[in-house]
């Protein structure tokens, strides 16, 4: 079994457990999903409605995580509004004791600070990581997990960053890329200089630890 931490494209592959992103205004049409308000799609007028949907969905057994949610400094939505929406969602994650899948762009210090200030006691996973070893070290030192996908395939230098991540702290994902999850696993196994089978076991153990499922 392969585990896909985060995807928007359900493939119905029996050999892959996919955590499919479903926004509050989307139907649940997949076996396992995560749900949250992405900073790109904050709708202030419908915020309470969307939070109510998220609250109800997080109570479902096949809702494995809150997310993706987070902070993004490269969009027009004001950071204080993003922060407010982010924090309201983290309260729900704590209430339901579900992990959090994070979208973070140029806001790592803010995400770390928020985790500390709200004393978030559920696992938090930065998805689609693309930064350097210094950022990864800060995240690991503050208890975050890291998920790799598109940028591991696109950026050769990221393999050196990936190698520094302890085996009990990472996940694999596809997000929206056309390549299959198998290609991400192949790239990751080559970077770590281990077999695909060993990598599968590592990610499987991480998934069971964080998601209490699978």
The three-point CA angle 178-179-180 to 5° equals 115
Residue 20: per-residue pLDDT: 98
The mean per-residue pLDDT over the stretch 138-165 comes to: 98
Strand 124-126 relative to strand 2-7: parallel, antiparallel, unpaired?
unpaired
Mean pLDDT, residues 21-26: 97
Number of residues in the chain: 214
| Average pLDDT, integer, range 130-157 | 97
pLDDT tens, position by position, 161-209: 999 999 999 999 999 999 999 999 999 999 999 999 999 999 999 999 9
pTM: 0.97
Q: Is 103 annotated as a binding residue?
A: yes
Non-local (6+) Cβ contacts of 79 within 8 A are 71, 73, 107, 110
Q: Which CATH number fits domain 2-211: 1.10.10.10, 3.40.50.300, 3.20.20.140, 3.40.50.720?
A: 3.20.20.140
Instruction: Check pLDDT > 90 for residue 144.
Output: yes
pLDDT at position 213: 57
- Band of the pLDDT at 212, cuts 50, 70, 90? confident
**38 among the known binding-site residues?**
no
Enumerate the domain spans of the chain. 2-211
Write the pLDDT tens digit of every residue in 49-108: 999 999 999 999 999 999 999 999 999 999 999 999 999 999 999 999 999 999 999 999
Q: What's the chain's average pLDDT?
A: 97
pLDDT, tens digit (0-9, with 9 covering 90-100), for 102-140: 999 999 999 999 999 999 999 999 999 999 999 999 999
| pLDDT recorded at residue 214 | 44
């Amino acid at each position: 079994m392969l585990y896909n931490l985060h995807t928007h494209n359900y493939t119905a592959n029996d050999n892959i457990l996919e955590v499919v992103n479903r926004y509050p205004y989307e139907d649940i049409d997949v076996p396992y999903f995560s749900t949250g308000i992405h900073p790109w799609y904050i709708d202030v007028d419908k915020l309470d409605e969307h939070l109510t949907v998220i609250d109800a969905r997080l109570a479902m057994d096949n809702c494995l995580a809150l997310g993706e949610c987070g902070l993004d400094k490269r969009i027009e939505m004001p950071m204080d509004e993003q922060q407010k929406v982010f924090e309201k969602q983290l309260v729900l994650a704590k209430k339901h004791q579900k992990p959090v899948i994070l979208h973070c762009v140029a806001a790592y210090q803010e995400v770390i600070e928020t985790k500390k200030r709200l004393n978030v006691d559920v696992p938090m996973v930065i998805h689609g990581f693309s930064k350097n070893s210094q950022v990864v070290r800060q995240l690991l030192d503050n208890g975050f997990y890291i998920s790799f996908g598109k940028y591991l395939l696109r950026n050769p230098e990221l393999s050196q960053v990936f190698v520094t991540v302890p085996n009990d702290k990472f996940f694999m994902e596809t997000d929206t890329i056309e390549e299959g999850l198998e290609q991400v696993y192949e790239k990751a196994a080559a970077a770590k200089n281990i077999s695909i089978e060993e990598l599968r076991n590592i990610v499987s153990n991480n998934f069971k630890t964080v998601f209490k499922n699978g």
